[in-house]
Amino acid sequence: MRRRSEPREDLPHVTSRRWIALLDKRTLSIPHVPLRDRKYDRQLRIWGAHGQQLLESSRVCLLHCGPTGSETLKNLVLGGIAAFTVVDDAKVQPHDLGNNFLLDSSSLGKSKAQHVTTLLEELNESVAGSFVEESPSTLLETNPDFFLSFTLVIATQMIEPDVIKLEDLCHSLEIKLLVVRSYGLVGSLRASLQEQTVIESKPDNHVENLRFHKPWRELEDFAMSIDLATADDILHKHTPYAILLIQATKQWHATHGPELPQNAREKQAYRDILQSWQRRIDDVPIEEENFTEAIENSRKVFAPPGIGREVQMVLYDPKAMELDPRSSDFWVLAAALRDFVEGEGEGCLPIEGSIPDMWATTELFLALQRVYRDKAERDTAAVRGHLARRLASIGRDAAAIDAKTLRNFVKHAHCLRVVRWRRLAQEVAPGTCDAAALRQALGDEDTAANACLYLLLRAVDRFHTLHARFPGCYDGEFEDDVPLLKSVAVGMLAEVGLASGALVDDLVHEVVRCGTLVYNAMASTTSVFQF
């Protein structure tokens, strides 16, 4: 909780008058909020300083800078990545004008990559841009080391065989890969990473770990220090519901044994304890807001949040179980956290330190908050101890992971996540493709159209491999291309043992008709589903 606290006497004003004069000059010459913060203010309020820092350390490689690639990179440059490199061997053609906002007639005949880079650099002076005038597929063959310096590769408008090769390379170099495609009024986006570990996953509904069911000693002492029976009316109706629930739970255990209320009858009996404590007039309970809150929140006792399945998966992931000197900080921290849960935590995650708003006097609320905050401090210190041991065990310095990182990790222990992606290569190969999932998606009314388009976009690439052109790219061959594309798609379905009935003729027509046309509105929309 942020509360006015220790007075800060370490400020320059107490040192000397010369300081002041200096500062005053600064008042009038340099804005004290760094420009960076002002420029990024609206997004800092979404992903915080930590998120911004991650963004600002990203080096992005864009393959092909058509409308889709240009729009994508624009959004990242505005957000403030560290650097980007554009790879494209094309010269600007007349048809490029008018659907790519970074090109105009003055760029005709010049290198597309160069022109796009220059204009993107203008969007944000803190981002460094560069370009390579070469075809992405050639670069992939001739100079794979080129990709080493990037944290993210964005492949746009590339066909499947090239994408599979690129994925191979990115995986071996541990580079994140995003595959973006716009095709007529259809778009697709696919991430391919080995794993992504997330500390701040920002879940929609988070139930605080308040430990009403299992208070630690200080919390229980604090809760029991209030004697409801003798409290005056004001204290009685301003005793925070946390205290009411802890007292009720204690009484429950005294009368019903160690098990928490399980069924509806027991839960009602538990709530009856709370109700029996309410003040009455003529035996009718008077309305007390804190008791209402306690009854509403009693489910936090019956169903304590515990450790979610996804967090369990992190704690007991093989990578957290078996550390080695190459383990990332996340996995070392996860191991230390598991040590805590299995040790001092007695099966619980560390206390987060914040408490929800509750009906209370300011004094009681702050005192209660202090109890939680102190416990959070102690828990963090315990995890720090485990962390030092874990680091030592893999030959790293005990201070290799700083206190701020640790604190952030512990604070978000309840929302840790690990996400792993299936390789694209596995997804498309007949032997490893998940035919059952495809069948289900094609059969389900809600997903049929999308599944069909997914298949057709892949069929288009296979068409390209077979015929060295995209279907429908020449006006005259439109009528011929519809059955050709359809037969390719049917063949792909057959390879994985699926019938062709799921193919929607209208969509086949549409995909052939729209050819390789890229709509800017579509490019603009597709380009952004990545962060």
Partner 1 sequence: MVSHERWPAVTRTDAFKEKVSKAKILAVGAGGIGCELLKTLVLSGFQHIAVVDMDTIETSNLNRQFLFRREHVGQSKAVVAAEAVKRLRPDAQITAHQANIKEDRFGIDFFDGFDLVLNGLDNLDARRHVNRMCHAARVPLVESGTSGYTGQVSVHGQLSRAETPSTSQPAIEAECFECQPKAAPKTYPVCTIRNTPDKPIHCVVWAKEMLFQRLFGRQEGVSDLDSHQAAEPPSEADKEALALQKDDASAFLMVPGESIEGYSRRIFDRLYCSDIKRLLSVQDLWKARTKPKPLDLAELVPINAPSAGPSHVNGHANGHPNGTSEAAVASASAALGLTDDHAMWSTADNAKVFLKAIELYRTVRAQDLGAAVFDKEDLLACEFVTAAANLRSIVFGIPTQSLFDTKGMAGNIIHAIATTNAIVSGLIVGEAMKLVANMPHKCRVSWLNERPNPKTVINPVELSTRAPDCAVCGPALLTLHTNTHTATLGDLVSQVLKGSMGLSQPWSITCSDFMYEEDEDLEEDEADTYAALSPRPLKDLPGGGLGNGAVVSIADQPLLEDGSPARKRSMQLIIRHQADWDGQRDPSQQFRLIGSVPAPVPPAGAAEGQKAGADDDEDDVPLLMENGAGEDEDEIVILPAAEKRPADAQLKRKAEVAEADAAENPSPKRRRAE
Check binding of 74 to partner 1 (CB under 8 A). Answer: yes
Quick check: 26 binds partner 1 (CB under 8 A)?
Answer: yes
Question: How far is 421 from 409, CA to CA, in rounded Å?
Answer: 23
Decide: 153 and 177 in contact? Cβ < 8 Å.
Answer: yes
Q: Closest approach of Cβ 293 to partner 1, in Å?
A: 9
Burial class of residue 72 in the structure, from the number of CB atoms within 10 Å of its CB (0-12 exposed, 13-18 middle, 19+ buried)? buried
The answer to whether residue 24 forms part of the interface with partner 1 (CB under 8 A) is yes
H or E, element range at 131: strand 128-132
Q: Does 222 bind partner 1 (CB under 8 A)?
A: no
Q: How far apart are CA 514 and CA 495, in angstroms?
A: 27
Part of the chain binding partner 1 (CB under 8 A), chosen from 258-266, 300-308, 333-341, 518-526 = 518-526
Q: How far apart are the first and last CA of the chain?
A: 30
Kindly tell me which residue out of 82, 89, 90, 99 binds partner 1, with binding defined by CB under 8 A. 99
Residue 68 interacting with partner 1 (CB under 8 A):
no
Q: Are 415 and 208 in contact (CB under 8 A)?
A: no
Rounded Cα distance, 305 and 297, in Å: 12
CA distances from 327 to 233, 247, 330 (A): 57, 44, 8
Q: How far is the CB of 35 from partner 1 (least distance, A)?
A: 7
Of 237-266, which residues contact partner 1 (CB under 8 A)?
238
Residue 464 as a binder of partner 1 (CB under 8 A): the answer is no
The least CB distance from residue 106 to partner 1, in Å, is 9
For position 281 contacting partner 1 by CB under 8 A, the verdict is no
Return phi, psi of residue 174, to 5°.
55, 50
Say how far apart CA 2 and CA 13 lie, in whole Å: 24
181 three-state secondary structure: strand
Interface with partner 1, residue 35, by CB under 8 A: yes
Between CA 2 and CA 50 the distance in angstroms is 19
- Of 13-21, 158-166, 419-427, 456-464, the segment contacting partner 1 by CB under 8 A is 13-21
Q: Which of 113, 155, 360, 382 binds partner 1 (CB under 8 A)?
A: 360
According to DSSP, residue 91 is labeled B
12 binds partner 1 (CB under 8 A): yes
Least distance between partner 1 and beta carbon 64 (Å): 18
What whole-number distance in Å separates Cα of residue 312 and Cα of residue 310?
5
When asked if residue 434 is in the footprint of partner 1 (CB under 8 A), the reply is no
Pick from 58, 100, 137, 327: which binds partner 1 (CB under 8 A)? 100
Nearer to partner 1, 394 or 517 (CB): 517
Is 25 a binding residue for partner 1 by CB under 8 A? The answer is yes
Question: Which CB, 280 or 389, lies closer to partner 1?
Answer: 280
**Interhelix angle for 448-467 vs 505-514, to 10°?**
50
CB atoms within 10 A of CB 498: 19
Q: Does 82 bind partner 1 (CB under 8 A)?
A: no
Would you say 81 or 335 has its CB closer to partner 1?
A: 81
Nearer to partner 1, 295 or 517 (CB): 517
CB of 483 to partner 1, least distance (A): 16
Contacting partner 1 within 165-194 (CB under 8 A)? 184-185
In angstroms, give the least distance from the CB of 34 to partner 1.
9
Residue 404: count of CB within 10 angstroms of its CB:
9
The reply on whether position 23 binds partner 1 by CB under 8 A is yes
Shortest gap between Cβ of 357 and partner 1 (angstroms)? 6
> Looking only at residues 108 through 137 of this chain, which bind partner 1 when binding is defined by CB under 8 A?
122-125
Report which of 310, 312, 311, 339 is spatially closest to residue 323, judged by C-alpha positions. Answer: 339
Q: Is 404 in contact with 50 (CB distance < 8 Å)?
A: no
Q: Compute the distance between CA of residue 58 and CA of residue 77 in angstroms, rounded to an integer.
A: 10
71 alpha carbon, distance to own chain's centre: 22
Using CB under 8 A, pick the residue from 259, 446, 479, 505 that binds partner 1: 446
Residues 309-328, interacting with partner 1 (CB under 8 A): none
Number of chain positions touching partner 1 (CB under 8 A): 85
Report, in Å, the least distance between residue 45 CB and partner 1.
Answer: 5
Please report whether residue 29 would count as binding partner 1 according to CB under 8 A.
yes
Q: Return d(Cα 180, Cα 177) in angstroms, integer.
A: 10
